[in-house]
Amino acid sequence: MATKKRWMYVPPKPPKPKVPEYLKAVVKTKADKLVESFLKPHFIREPPKDYQRNYPVDIFTKWHQRYFYFCSTWRSPSPNAISEYFESRFARLEYAEDEKFNMAYMRYTGQWWEIFEGLTLDQCVEEIRTNILLQPAI
């Protein structure tokens, strides 16, 4: 039995809001302060000698379009490693509007999973400080 195709109008999605330049600077400043005061001291450590597993060597932040990422650089000391260093993103802030953000973490599947919507920047910083899902996986 043949099925009939039906056409229907789907209105275009509204454009996503652009991040104001002043807000980019404020977010970068607060996030870098969090990285230096909390994330690096807790997650960057000197590896033992002859350690063959991946370990983090740096944590940093960066903007890409309307997303703000918390990233880590990892070292692969194994002689079988494809590359000696690689980058991994572990938390993401998405600009929603009115200085509010949606937060997501990188799942083990390699996909972003949004867990908070409409948080202020201070709430986002506190979530990263306290929520293990939004911290680098060690």
d(CA 105, CA 93): 9
Residue with tokens 């998405």: 94
Asked if residues 34 and 125 have their Cβ atoms less than 8 Å apart, the reply is: yes
Structure tokens at 12: 């275009």
* In the chain, where the domains are located: 21-44+53-134
| DSSP SS3 for 60 | strand
Q: Report pTM.
A: 0.84
> Could you report the average pLDDT of every consecutive run of 10 residues in the chain (138 residues)?
80 88 95 96 86 89 94 90 92 93 94 95 95 89
User: What pLDDT sits at residue 40?
Assistant: 95
Greatest extent of the chain over all pairs of C-alpha atoms, in Å: 70
